[in-house]
Amino acid sequence: MRRSAFFFLPLLVFAGCAEVAEHGPISARTQAKMEALALSKTEFLRRMEVSSRQPTQPMTLPLRLSMGVPVLEAGINGRGAVSMMLDTGASRTMLQAATAVSHKVPIMRAEDAKVEMQGVVGKETGRIGLLNPLTLGSWSLNGYPCLVRTYENRLTGMSGAASFPESLLGFDVAVNYCRYLTLNYPGESVIFGFGQAFVPQAGTRKSSVPFKMKHGVPFITLRSGAHSWEAIVDSGSFNGIEINEEVAKKLGVHQGGRKVSGLYLMSIGGTVSSSQANLRTVKLPDLTLCGGKYKEVEVDISPGPPRVGSHFLKDYRATFDFKSKKLWLEW
């Protein structure tokens, strides 16, 4: 059985500090340790049947920025905390193979299920793992399925790369269990909304726009001049506003721009340099985004779908209200 999952997990880093940047399968040793944890489909599904008690009040957890993206601490299978990127641009929660092994995360046997994961620059085959429990603060989520990578991105000699949290908490957890999700960038916290409906804070400036769910991630509409396009609201991207070649051509800026050099883009499916990806920055005369209108806006042309990343969101309390299907920005 093969399933598909939609992922956008970009990470841009300065190549000047990196000696080697590559992408490849996990080691044979890690693969063997992972296979030792494999369960039959029947046993895997049986373990998923454990019930969880859902909180009745909103739960606030610390959030920090690491290399421009939000990171929180989560408990995995009762074996200690793991730093995880909070990635609204990922449709499923995902672990690196080494983390799955060290935290004894069982996986479904390969003959029963594999997963095709789509990243910004390519595809990978992954496995289905079981978090039992996934712990976020006082909330323990029992028998929760996740994805486990069988490939890895490697940067040798890159300052800070080793400490970057490659495992991620996807948008699926909030979508499946919460009434709303707030990423409070200025307040360095995240709020998982349970029980009561979302109410914007009194005394703040605010705006809201509809979002739609596609492939398990949130999309909003952006506009420049007479043209509009959809973009993922992607906290897992450290950039601000990104468009792809198709949108750039529609806007008439595909042949210009300032080339971006000296960076690596690490993603599900591959690692490429900014030159290989033809990354470049262009300026739009106007941009309508999340209820705001901006002039002379710099945006990046990059692989994958258009995205609104954490460099834009970092000045706001960004809330996804799942009941009204609105994205709120407060400042």
Q: Are residues 132 and 254 in the same domain?
A: no
d(CA 210, CA 99): 36
Q: Is residue 200 part of a domain?
A: no
Q: Tens digits of per-residue pLDDT, 87-115?
A: 999 999 999 999 999 999 999 999 999 99
Q: Are residues 93 and 184 in the same domain?
A: yes
And the tokens for 329?
Answer: 């920005």
Q: Is residue 174 part of a domain?
A: yes
Q: Are residues 186 and 283 in the same domain?
A: no
Give pLDDT, residue 16.
Answer: 44
Give pLDDT, residue 1.
Answer: 57
Q: Are residues 87 and 189 in the same domain?
A: yes
Name residues of the chain where pLDDT drops below 50: 6, 8-19
Q: Where are the alpha helices (DSSP H) in 59-122?
A: 97-102
Q: Are residues 112 and 166 in the same domain?
A: yes
Give pLDDT, residue 268.
Answer: 83
Q: Are residues 55 and 84 in the same domain?
A: yes
Q: Is residue 149 part of a domain?
A: yes
Q: Is residue 283 part of a domain?
A: yes
Q: Are residues 189 and 296 in the same domain?
A: no
Query: 293 in helix, strand or coil?
Result: strand
Which residue range forms the structural domain that includes residue 297? Answer: 206-315
d(CA 130, CA 18): 34
Q: Tens digits of per-residue pLDDT, 261-271?
A: 887 777 788 88
Q: Is residue 64 part of a domain?
A: yes
Q: Is residue 325 part of a domain?
A: no
Q: Are residues 106 and 59 in the same domain?
A: yes
| Number of structural domains in the chain | 2
Q: Are residues 63 and 148 in the same domain?
A: yes
Q: Is residue 322 part of a domain?
A: no
Domain of residue 19, CATH code: 2.40.70.10
Q: Are residues 61 and 138 in the same domain?
A: yes
Instruction: Indicate the residue among 145, 166, 193 that finishes a domain.
Output: 193
Give pLDDT, residue 163.
Answer: 60
- pTM of this prediction? 0.93
110 bridge partner residues:
none
Cα angle 107-113-117, degrees, rounded to a multiple of 5: 90
Q: Are residues 282 and 145 in the same domain?
A: no
Q: Are residues 111 and 148 in the same domain?
A: yes
Q: Tens digits of per-residue pLDDT, 109-155?
A: 999 999 988 877 788 999 999 999 999 999 999 999 999 999 998 76
Instruction: Indicate the residue among 193, 226, 256 that finishes a domain.
Output: 193
Give pLDDT, residue 10.
Answer: 44
Q: Is residue 328 part of a domain?
A: no
Instruction: Indicate the residue among 193, 218, 234 that finishes a domain.
Output: 193
d(CA 98, CA 224): 44
Give pLDDT, residue 193.
Answer: 98
